Amino acid sequence: MTSESAYDQVEYPGRPYLQTHPASIAAYARLMNLSPAAAENCRVLELGCGDGTNLLGMAAALPGSTFVGVDLSGNAIRAGSELAREAELSNVTLHQADFAELDAGLGSFDYVIAHGVYSWVPPLARTTLQSAMARHLAPDGLAFVSYATYPGAHLREIAREMMQYHGRGGGEPMLRVARAVEFVRFVRGTQGASVYGGILEQELSRLGRGDWRYVIHDDFADHHHPVYFREFASQAAANGLVFATEIPLGPWPSVGFPAAVRKTIEGFAEGDAVAREQYLDFVRGTAFRQSLLCHASSGANAEGHEERLMSLLVRSDLQPQSPRPDIASREKVRFVTRLGDSADADEPLIKAIFVTLANARLMPLPVSEVLARAEPLAGLSPAEGEVLAGRIRAVAGMLLNAASRRLVTIQASPARFANRASERPAVSPLVRAQARRGDIVTSLRHEPIQLDSRVHPLVLRADGTCTQAELRTLLAQAKPDGKPHVEPEIFE
């Protein structure tokens, strides 16, 4: 790694990543019969933290935990440290450092995060990264690592290499990206309904979904090294780490596949967990993984995960399209998220579970409580014995399937956000500090929220001193700009 980071030249947009939150990691670890530290009282290290946005959101929601971030970019660390001071977050510290130079005095951590780093650094830095994770991971700790994987990454590399060639020669980064994407669009237009055209169409969809600064750092990076899962697992093993599970798939890695497919994959793997994951990647065409690692002595075990799921919490923003869905019959009902993702259900118990989650207004509920509330809605009596066991297996399979599609979120700890505003609404100091800098803030649900021009001034005033009536007056005076409205969970 060089002394000057490319991220100092073009800022990498910081954002919170829910899948890296200790409550999310702990949930999937508990499904594997591991004993992770409670999110409310833990130590978290993020390697490659950028400006710390991800860690700062956690620190605001978990004041009893300690957070440390490390990144090579001095500009990003300075910006994040200043935001932390303004937000009065004393439980987070950010350091400019190379992974190879981490001070042993940092100590051990219950959770170590490396999101969007592993595949975008030189080979030696990848080795150093895993070594640092193993060195600083507590005996019962969990490491979260995301990385690009083959075989799916082969398809992404088609567009990436095309863009790098057309964007060669330097120049202003944003203009290079625009020119390169336009060339991919041109090539796509020449292909009609061909397989090649379909691949480019998929990549254009991906490129058009987010901030082009991500494209600069991900697709135009000097280093882009996808790996096969077996290679990643081998390097982890060399550092005394083993694969525990995948987020968000959890302990049922072949979720969504028919039983016959799952049985065939297990036969190919012959009981080898690494081989099974590699075969699953071949079948799925996996291009990106988010894996949890633990020390080899931890003893992860998926057996009995259905029962363990009952003690975890689940939430969702799915809402039925019909104001009065027919739950007890086999009539199909469509449920839609605020981002437009959807799920169709005709099984009464599944519909009842989705309605129960919708009625909770994003507040996480224990899965066992969701089942208890859903049963009477579906016209079912409380079950016992084998009937209950079968019902639990069905619910666990459905929820893990929904989680893999990001329709529900599974977590190990309750949330601190409110789903209704109080008489004198207040947002976290972090949200106010972020709102003074722009229109993207981090909710206490650890998700990015874009403020529209009407809500922005309300957030700046929502410090617990203004009444709802005063804020409504301020809202009435503002003009809309068409952006999504703020979600209530930013209020404490």
pLDDT at site 416 = 79
**Average pLDDT over every residue of 381-393:** 88
- Residue 101 pLDDT > 60, yes or no? yes
Asked if residue 406 lies in contact with residue 309, where contact means CB atoms within 8 angstroms, the answer is no
pLDDT at site 11 = 65
- Residue 231 pLDDT > 80, yes or no? yes
**Average pLDDT over every residue of 450-466:** 89
Asked if residue 47 lies in contact with residue 112, where contact means CB atoms within 8 angstroms, the answer is yes
- Residue 235 pLDDT > 60, yes or no? yes
**Average pLDDT over every residue of 232-236:** 95
pLDDT at site 146 = 96
pLDDT in tens, 76-92: 999 999 999 999 999 99
pLDDT in tens, 195-225: 999 999 988 888 877 666 667 767 777 778 9
**Average pLDDT over every residue of 173-191:** 88
pLDDT at site 490 = 41
- Residue 330 pLDDT > 70, yes or no? yes
Q: Which residue has the higher pLDDT, 368 or 478?
A: 368
- Asked if the bond preceding 248 is cis, omega within 30° of 0, the reply is yes
Q: Residue 14: which pLDDT band, with cuts at 50, 70 and 90?
A: confident
Q: Which residue has the higher pLDDT, 211 or 126?
A: 126
pLDDT in tens, 32-65: 999 999 999 999 999 999 999 999 999 999 999 9
Q: Residue 475: which pLDDT band, with cuts at 50, 70 and 90?
A: confident
pLDDT at site 257 = 80
Q: Residue 262: which pLDDT band, with cuts at 50, 70 and 90?
A: confident
Place of tokens 């950010």: 94
- Residue 104 pLDDT > 80, yes or no? no
**Average pLDDT over every residue of 438-457:** 90
Burial of 235 (C-beta count, 10 Å sphere; 0-12/13-18/19+): middle
Using a pLDDT cut of 70, give the percent of the chain over it: 92
pLDDT at site 63 = 96
309-318, 386-395, 424-433: range with lowest mean pLDDT: 386-395
Q: Residue 1: which pLDDT band, with cuts at 50, 70 and 90?
A: very low
**Average pLDDT over every residue of 242-270:** 85
Using a pLDDT cut of 90, give the percent of the chain over it: 61
Asked if residue 181 lies in contact with residue 215, where contact means CB atoms within 8 angstroms, the answer is yes
pLDDT at site 474 = 85
Q: Residue 253: which pLDDT band, with cuts at 50, 70 and 90?
A: low
Instruction: List the beta bridge partners of residue 426.
Output: 463
- Residue 484 pLDDT > 90, yes or no? no
The residues near 47 (Cβ < 8 Å, ≥ 6 apart) are 70, 99, 112, 113, 114, 117, 129, 132, 133
Rg (CA), the chain: 23
Whole-angstrom distance, CA of residue 349 vs CA of residue 443: 31
pLDDT in tens, 18-35: 999 999 999 999 999 999
> Is 63 strand, coil or helix?
coil
- Residue 269 pLDDT > 50, yes or no? yes
**Average pLDDT over every residue of 318-338:** 92
Total residue length of the chain: 492
The pTM of the full predicted model, rounded to 2 decimals, is 0.90
Question: CA angle, 473 as apex, 469 and 478 as ends, to 5°?
Answer: 145
pLDDT at site 8 = 56
Mean pLDDT in the chain? 88
> Is 430 strand, coil or helix?
helix
- Residue 480 pLDDT > 70, yes or no? no
Q: Which residue has the higher pLDDT, 313 or 7?
A: 313
Helices of type H across 87-222: 123-136, 152-166, 173-189, 195-207, 212-219
pLDDT at site 489 = 43
Whole-angstrom distance, CA of residue 341 vs CA of residue 307: 28
**Average pLDDT over every residue of 439-453:** 91
